[in-house]
Amino acid sequence: MTPTLLGSTTHRITVAPSNLLGVETVDAVVVGAGVIGLAVARRLARDGREVMVFECEDSIGTQTSSRNSEVIHAGIYYPAGSRKASACVEGRELLYRYCADHDVAHRRLGKLIVATDDAQLPDLERIAGRAAANGVTDLRPVDAGELHELEPQIRGVGALLSPSTGIIDAHGLMRALRHDAQEAGAMIVLHSAITAGSVGGDPPLVVEVDGADTLGCRMLVNCAGLGAWDVAGSLRGFPIDGVPPRRFAKGTYFSLAHGSVPFGRLIYPVPVDGGLGVHLTLDLAGRARFGPDVEWVDELDYRVDADRADAFAAEIRRYWPDLPDDALQPDYAGIRPKLSGPGEPAADFGLQGPADHGIPGLVNMFGIESPGLTSCLALARDVAALL
């Protein structure tokens, strides 16, 4: 095994090149170097823990963390009292402050949730009520006249305006979190997969890297995203009924083949089963993206089906009727790890700690999808509290 080591000069483990890990024991192992894993590693390292992060890919944040809409969510949609609601609302403010303090590119653009016919107006009322219950204090209704003033090209009978919604450079955020974690002494090991492990021994937690090297730890945080279920299931001694069902929701994005959109805010339709509908987001360069849709799949496949463009165009024209013909081109796709499937109530974040499974020092994170990016700093705080 020849991983890329990106550690700092403090809390570094000294190991021989021929046996990278041997029988060493560290305070904490974090599995996965996406935005959640990096935020957790940063928090634990800044708390004085000796931390190693293992990532199976050759770069940080190559899966869910980089295949999303790069939106800072306000905390509008989630059930009151859920971890998604609290982590999003608190995480939003933590994230805006972090971006300002660490020069991470972002912009508080705001968004409109648009009702395209009268039948959807009660949906807006329900969304507004849920947002208020979550502590979102700046969401306000917009009638058809004001909607036309704000965004003349949008067709709708009413909307909700969310000034707290923004956009962010997700890769810039992950680079900043990685830098902070390393400055605090964390080591990040790329191209190294956790293939097995055990619980309940001495040391209390053990992981195997690429089926060869082993490492003991007192804390193990499974932030492996789409692979979190596989990591948990590979731990000898972990109760199999502690691994919940896994669902994959593929979301495809299209962009404009030419020209630009005449909008200054993000535009969202009323939510649909499994997601927030085919919405219009802008990146920091002003480039428009449409998506994601929801396609329930059984395996990881990031190919974009160009034939979905017609269905996308039909959804977009519900709120932007002047979308030009043949304007859409395939862009990218992401897959969201979910704990609920089609037709089921949306599940909360699955943050599973010692109180849930009885194993000291172990935290599994299942179903960390949207608003995971927004919630990363709040979730890192919650993980630290469980340990």
* pLDDT single digits (tens) 353-365: 999 999 999 999 9
- Give the residue from 31, 23, 47 showing the smallest Cα distance to 385: 47
Helix H or strand E encompassing 111: strand 111-115
Tokens of 332: 């990218």
pLDDT at 387 over 80: yes
Is a pLDDT exceeding 90 seen at residue 277?
no
CB burial string 376-385: b at 16+ within 10 A, e below: bbbbbbbbbe
Q: What is the mean pLDDT of the chain?
A: 92
Please check whether residue 45 is in contact with residue 181, taking contact to mean a CB–CB distance below 8 angstroms: yes
Q: Is the preceding peptide bond at 203 cis, omega within 30 degrees of 0?
A: yes
pLDDT digit string (tens) for 11-60? 333 333 333 444 589 999 999 999 999 999 999 999 999 999 999 999 99
**Contact between 130 and 76 (Cβ < 8 Å):** yes
- Give pLDDT tens digits for 58-96: 999 999 999 999 999 999 999 999 999 999 999 999 999
Buried b (16+ CB within 10 A) or exposed e, 325-342: eebbebbbbbbbbbbbee
Distance from C-alpha of 181 to C-alpha of 179, rounded to nearest angstrom: 5
Domains of the chain: 1-107+165-245+343-387 (3.50.50.60), 111-163+247-338 (3.30.9.10)
Express each pLDDT in 202-241 by its tens digit.
889 999 999 888 999 999 999 999 999 999 999 999 999 9
Helix or strand holding residue 42 (H, E) = helix 35-46
DSSP type of residue 19: B
Pairing outcome for strands 111-115 and 158-162: antiparallel
Residue 94's H or E segment, with its range, is: helix 83-102
